[in-house]
Amino acid sequence: MRATEWPASPRPPVRLLLQWGVSALREAGIETARLDAEVLLADVLGCSRAQLFARFHDSVGRREAAAYRGLVVRRARGEPVAYILGRREFYGRAFYVDRRVLIPRPETELLVERALTLLEGRPRPLVADIGTGSGAIAVTLAAERPDLRVIATDVSAGALEVARLNAERHGVADRVDLRLGHLLEPLDEPVDLIGANLPYVGTEEAKRLPRDVVQYEPHEALFAGPEGLALIRELFASLQPAHLKPGGAVLLEVGYGHGREVVNLACQQWPQANVRLHKDLAGIERVVEINFLSPATGEV
């Protein structure tokens, strides 16, 4: 049997289905072929990847085998696994995702961690998550801090529907206030913290993005002008004292190589603010933190 030939048996064992899936995905140039084949088969069989190996020699029913084949074909065409399964893990929770939203990235967990640290000791904080997408940041913060409320905004009505599903799924819908609108426009009361993972991919960088990202993820979630800084600049320009409570802060995820520039922009605009840059687990400057120590004196 050629590796990419579909197994002849009507009830092929797990082992042969995996072998077929891995080679079909390798042939399609998918770097994570083995992992993806395992994840897709485990999903169809309703088991974990580890359990798959305990069932290595068990045969699989015709209908399940056909379903698996369909999923592998979608992956081979480049569709991300998270869209195929309709979920992605973020900060230990499963989020529903589809093509209306960016797939949450592990590096964004850094922004969540910094937000939780900054909000320690602030009772009943109010947070704004600008460009909430799947709701990954907003829902996680609300789930981690039961006394926290969050205003989660997006320009995409479809994204807000996905965020609503996730807020309901994680039992925080009563504390996640979803609003449609551009940047800070939907905010009508001062918040303790503004967090945002805005689109930050520039025109040049777009050419270097993986094919799956460009083909499948929403462009309005990715691109922001020639250098990728258009929306961050606009957010800075529109930030008013009335947006933040005294001692409030802004946390922004930034693109590869953007850290210094965003820090400089913030320092120029608010010379009195305390601005910091945090690296992610890969050592990349990823989150810019701006602390307004005394906004009453007009630095914001």
Chain residues in the site for ligand GLN (CB under 6 A): 105, 197, 199-201, 209, 213, 222, 253
Among 88, 108, 236, 262, binds ligand SAM (CB under 6 A): 108
How many degrees, rounded to 5, is the angle at CA 63 between CA 26 and CA 86? Answer: 60
198 makes contact with ligand SAM (CB under 6 A): yes
CA–CA distances in Å: residue 201 to residues 129, 140, 209, 248? 19, 24, 9, 27
The minimum distance between CB 33 and ligand GLN, in angstroms, equals 21
Q: List alpha helices for the chain, DSSP H.
A: 14-27, 33-45, 49-54, 62-76, 81-85, 109-119, 136-144, 157-169, 203-206, 211-216, 230-238, 259-269
- Contact letters for ligand SAM, residues 221-250 (x by CB under 6 A): x---------x-------------------
**Considering only residues 121-140, where is the footprint of ligand SAM by CB under 6 A?**
130-134, 136-137
3-state SS of 206-240? HCCCCHHHHHHCCHHHCECCCCCCHHHHHHHHHCC
The minimum distance between CB 108 and ligand GLN, in angstroms, equals 8
Q: Which does 104 bind (CB under 5 to 8 A by kind): ligand SAM, ligand GLN, none?
A: ligand SAM
End-to-end CA gap in the chain: 68
Q: Which does 213 bind (CB under 5 to 8 A by kind): ligand SAM, ligand GLN, none?
A: ligand GLN
Under the rule (CB under 6 A), what is the footprint of ligand SAM? 101-102, 104, 108, 130-134, 136-137, 153-156, 159, 182-183, 197-199, 220-221, 231
